[in-house]
Amino acid sequence: MASMDAFRNNVRDWLESNCPESQRQPIIKDQQIWAGRNRSFYCYDSKLWFERMRDKGWTAPTWPIEYGGGGLTPDQAKILEQEMKALGCRPALYDIGLWMFGPALLEYGTEEQKQEHIPKIVRGEIRWAQGYSEPSAGSDLAALKTRAEDKGDHFLINGTKMWTTQGDKSDWIFCLVRTDPDAPKQQGISFLLIDMANEGGDARPMELINGDHEFCQTFFDDVKVPKKNLVGKLNDGWSVAKALLKYERNMMSIMSSIVEKEEGDIVEIAKRYVGTDSSGILTNSSVRSQLSLHLMSAQADLWSGIRLYEQHKKGLSDGGLGLTMKYMSTTEQQRKDELLLSIMGNQGLSWQNQKLSEAENKSVKNWAYNKAHTIAGGTSEIQLNIIAKKALNLPS
Amino acid sequence: MSMVLNEEQCLLEDTIRDFLSSHAPVASLRQIRDTQDELGYSDELWQQLTDLGIPSILMPEEFDGLGFGFKGLGAVMQQMGRHLTASPLFATVVLAASAIELGATEKQKQELLPKITAGQLTLSLAMDEGFHHHPLNTDVRLEDDKGKLTISGEKAFVLDGSSADSFIVLVRSFGKKGDAKGLSLVLVNRDSPGLTIERTQYMDGRNAADLIFDQVLVTENQLIGSLGEAYPILQQVLDRGVIAMSAEMLGGCQEVFERTLHYLRDREQFGVKIGTFQALQHRASMMFCQLEQSKSAVLKALSSLDSNSPDCSIQASIAKTLMNDCYQKITNEAIQMHGGMGITDELDIGLFLKRARISIQILGDSDYHKNRYAELNGY
Ligand SMILES: Cc1cc2nc3c(=O)[nH]c(=O)nc-3n(C[C@H](O)[C@H](O)[C@H](O)COP(=O)(O)OP(=O)(O)OC[C@H]3O[C@@H](n4cnc5c(N)ncnc54)[C@H](O)[C@@H]3O)c2cc1C
């Protein structure tokens, strides 16, 4: 206990003297520090903050020190997270490799693979993309067709991946590919790491309903990949993918908390758009009631997260609570978005409205973008299927 | 403060679960209902619970409190919700004894609390007026005619009202409807001249009453707390009550949900278990999500009482609103998924449905708490 308090004090002191003032403001999307060969910083402070965190290994607080990580215990990492939150420190690095792929590689990779990739992730030198989905393989991921042919010293890749987040800006992509077309669906799949700089790879952005171009269709046309880039056993990629899934759920909650901070305070927006009486009470009682229900539910979802953590820490089973989190937080986010839009009336119908503040314009854009939350990373319907089976033991 | 139960609290929960399932299964509530039992609960059961120390659960140490805290109370309330146990725990211990603990003089405490822990005194908080819970709108008057104090007016939905030995009555000493200032709490014996007790027959079979006060004479010694200054105490009492009731509802809701899952796994139509139908699976999964969310709100609220946190009122309103909506939803779905059997009195599902609707009204429905939450948050 005492040593934890001492740790907390050290962390706080360190953050206070090392996190520049400008990096203690709520993060906005354009100022995020994404990993990669072409990494860029919007200002000197953000570079400084990133480098200081990187050098302590705190970009990946719980990863082993030998690979450049922070070597913290889960409890220590929680303290770091709490102290960063308390000071309002921005995350020092954004990367799918950091959130999803790295943890899975630490679990499944060979020593050589870890040596090659993990330090670069911690140091933000490589940006990773996820290559799972395909035009005809979405929820039914195991229907994927991208082919990896064994050519002796390398695999030859042909096929198309869909939805590759930031595919055009990523350096490497971790892919599920078919290595045995004759085996039953899930058994002929392998997990392969592909350098996007390779000849024959091409990521083309697709435009989304909010005008963003973050997602790509990625084409592989006779791309050569060395054998050492196979993670896990040949034809056993499904196990690696399943392990990775649990980190993906974490990522979804990180993502929605980022969005949260970009928006204006919904209570203030409501006051401005629907009006208040002389004592500051919203004059539209229906909006007021919907607002309360949203804030209450969002609050309770946070308590669920803490309860989940406390249960895990005590070594108790979570009774299925963990499986509910993605469905609940993404659904609630969309409820909020719809409420916000209706509160703003005709002002909420454009995302280039000169009369709106930047935060308000963002809210409208997010309303459209956040429709993706209940689709990406396993649709809501798939989540409900899983809950029915795993948490409720309903027959199939 | 953690939301997870500690070892002693787990042990308490196990003890109560075992005790209630053997001594007070849901069938005993049927008996109370069918015989239109005067008390609306089993006194024998209450004496047994007293032997287990349950009335002392919240008491301060000097009154032999058990030190299980509010999470301990929550565990007991949940089990009572699961078994639909009728008992004076809520009205006497959670509400009335809290008012005494927080507002009464040392002398009053010495006189009243030991009797409560010994199972010899039952009390009831007479608070609501009209059709909805709204304590600030209290209009039952405490008139002061040159030192002669009298109460006049009507109270409704007084839980355990037809059986309690005495009432703690929320009255207005001065000010107008809606004012926080001017509210007082007065202890009134059920036999007081001018007090008429009309038992109501609510659909959960438990006892409640409307009270009519016609110039009921009281003295200053009967005041709990200072004249006109009851509101801050009342708020604390009600936060405890709201959170404890939410815990009872959580237990009931879990029970009726589990019974429904059991039916989905068991019942066959079209040659398969009905639980294989995705239309039902998804609804069951959504209920589970809502239930887990409400559970988090209730556990958080209980732990905020334990740590005496300044946001107890906010947590109380969150817990009650989410639990109200959840219990309403899940009891309706439970009936629907049981098909025709769901609307027979043969199954217990209907008993949960009825208790749900009563508990939703107890200490505020969702509209009340959403409004209160908005006020507490300045919009
Ligand atoms: C913003 C965003 C980012 C993404 N990022 C990536 C990425 O980086 N890498 C990557 O590989 N993929 C990514 N994806 C793809 C994502 O994983 C898929 O979109 C998702 O799995 C759903 O597949 P689908 O879009 O083909 O929809 P479909 O699977 O075709 O689903 C269509 C509808 O049918 C429903 N449905 C399907 N199966 C069932 C069932 N068994 N029971 C009930 N209903 C069902 C679905 O719930 C949905 O409502 C991303 C998607 C989005 C939107």
Cβ–Cβ gap B379/A297 under 8 Å: no
Contacts of A270 in chain B (CB under 8 A): 379
Q: How far is B296 from chain A (nearest CA, A)?
A: 5
Cβ–Cβ gap A381/B282 under 8 Å: yes
The domain that contains B201 carries what CATH number? 2.40.110.10
The domain that contains B86 carries what CATH number? 1.10.540.10
Q: Which of B265, B374, B379 sits opposite A395 (nearest CB)?
A: B265
- Residue with CA closest to ligand 1 atom 27: A138
- Of the residues B102, B121, B140, which one is the last residue of a structural domain? B121
Is the domain of B128 the same as that of B185?
yes
Residue B197 · residue B146 · CB < 8 Å: no
- Atom number of ligand 1 nearest to Cα A139: 29
In a mutational test of the B interface, the residue from A271, A383, A384, A393 whose CB has the highest number of chain B CBs within 10 Å is A384
In a mutational test of the A interface, the residue from B293, B304, B328, B377 whose CB has the highest number of chain A CBs within 10 Å is B293
- The DSSP string of B5-20 is --HHHHHHHHHHHHHH
pLDDT value of position B61: 75
pLDDT value of position A254: 58
Q: Phi then psi for A160, rounded to 5 degrees? A: -130, 130
- Say whether pTM exceeds 0.90: yes
Q: What is the pLDDT of residues B122-146, one digit of tens each?
A: 999 999 999 999 999 999 999 999 9
Instruction: Give me the mean pLDDT over the B281-287 stretch.
Output: 98
Residue A203 · residue A196 · CB < 8 Å: yes
CA angle A125, A127, A132 (to 5 degrees): 150
Cα distance between residue B221 and residue B218, in whole Å: 8
Is the domain of B264 the same as that of B198?
no
CA dihedral A117, A121, A124, A126 (to 10 degrees): 50
Instruction: Give me the mean pLDDT over the B29-37 stretch.
Output: 89
Flag whether B137 is in a domain: yes
Q: Phi then psi for A289, rounded to 5 degrees? A: -70, -40
Give the burial class of B262: count Cβ atoms within 10 A of its Cβ; 0-12 exposed, 13-18 middle, 19 or more buried: exposed
Instruction: Give me the mean pLDDT over the B196-215 stretch.
Output: 94
Give the distance (Å) from ligand 1 centre to CA of residue A142: 12
Q: What is the pLDDT of residues B217-260, one digit of tens each?
A: 999 999 999 999 999 999 999 999 999 999 999 999 999 999 99
Is the domain of B257 the same as that of B361?
yes
pLDDT value of position A22: 93
Instruction: Give me the mean pLDDT over the B193-202 stretch.
Output: 95
Is the domain of B319 the same as that of B252?
yes
What residue ranges define each of the domains in chain A, with the CATH number in brackets? 2-94 (1.10.540.10), 128-237 (2.40.110.10), 261-391 (1.20.140.10)
Ligand 1 site-directed mutation target among A375, A383, A384, A385, most atoms within 8 Å of CB: A375
Is the domain of B320 the same as that of B345?
yes
Residue B204 · residue B355 · CB < 8 Å: yes
Flag whether B1 is in a domain: no
How far apart are the two ends of chain B, measured CA to CA in Å? 29
Is the domain of B264 the same as that of B345?
yes
Cβ–Cβ gap B4/A316 under 8 Å: yes
Is the domain of B242 the same as that of B366?
yes
Minimal-distance CA residue of chain B relative to A267? B379
pLDDT value of position A30: 82
In a mutational test of the B interface, the residue from A78, A269, A304 whose CB has the highest number of chain B CBs within 10 Å is A304
Flag whether B188 is in a domain: yes
User: Position A363: which residue type?
Assistant: S
B147 three-class SS = coil
Residue A287 tokens, joined: 């909006």
Instruction: Give me the mean pLDDT over the B276-281 stretch.
Output: 98
pLDDT value of position A354: 87
Low-confidence spans in chain A with pLDDT less than 50 = none
Q: Are strands A172-178 and A128-131 parallel, antiparallel or unpaired?
A: parallel
Residue A317 contacts B, CB cutoff 8 Å: no
Residue A314 contacts B, CB cutoff 8 Å: yes
Cα distance between residue B306 and residue B59, in whole Å: 13
Cβ–Cβ gap A292/B321 under 8 Å: yes
Is the domain of B253 the same as that of B198?
no
Taking alpha carbons only, the member of B99, B274, B68 closest to residue B184 is B99
Flag whether B52 is in a domain: yes
Is the domain of B258 the same as that of B364?
yes
- Of the residues B83, B100, B121, which one is the last residue of a structural domain? B121
pLDDT value of position A242: 87
Is the domain of B262 the same as that of B344?
yes
Instruction: Give me the mean pLDDT over the B276-280 stretch.
Output: 98
Residue B275 contacts A, CB cutoff 8 Å: yes
| Stretch 224-283 of chain A: residues touching chain B, C-beta under 8 Å | 267, 270-271, 276, 280-282
CB pairs under 8 A between A and B: 126
Q: Which of A280, A296, A384 sits opposite B285 (nearest CB)?
A: A384
Cα distance between residue A117 and residue A132, in whole Å: 20
A379 three-class SS = coil
Q: How far is A91 from chain B (nearest CA, A)?
A: 27
Instruction: Give me the mean pLDDT over the B82-104 stretch.
Output: 97
pLDDT value of position B83: 97
CA angle A133, A320, A191 (to 5 degrees): 30
Taking alpha carbons only, the member of A56, A88, A91 closest to residue A72 is A56
- The DSSP string of B24-74 is --HHHHHHHHHTT-SSSS-HHHHHHHHHTTGGGTT--GGGT----HHHHHH
Q: Which of B284, B285, B296 sits opposite A303 (nearest CB)?
A: B296
Is the domain of B295 the same as that of B255?
yes
Q: Is A96 in the pocket of ligand 1 (CB under 6 A)?
A: no
Rounded mean pLDDT of chain B? 96
Please give the residue range of the domain that contains residue B317: 232-376
| Stretch 185-244 of chain B: residues touching chain A, C-beta under 8 Å | none
Residue B361 tokens, joined: 């009204």
Q: How far is A48 from chain B (nearest CA, A)?
A: 37
Cβ–Cβ gap B374/A292 under 8 Å: yes
Residue with tokens 């039914």: A140
- Of the residues B192, B207, B230, which one is the last residue of a structural domain? B230
pLDDT value of position B330: 98
Flag whether B368 is in a domain: yes
Residue A80 · residue A91 · CB < 8 Å: no
Q: How many domains does the structure of chain B reveal? A: 3
Is the domain of B211 the same as that of B83?
no
Cα Rg, chain A, nearest whole Å: 22
Flag whether B2 is in a domain: no
Instruction: Give me the mean pLDDT over the B261-270 stretch.
Output: 98
Max intra-chain CA distance, chain B: 80
Query: DSSP class of residue A264?
Result: P
Give the distance (Å) from ligand 1 centre to CA of residue A256: 18
The domain that contains B321 carries what CATH number? 1.20.140.10
Q: What is the pLDDT of residues A170-192, one digit of tens each?
A: 999 999 999 999 999 899 999 99
ipTM above 0.90, yes or no: yes
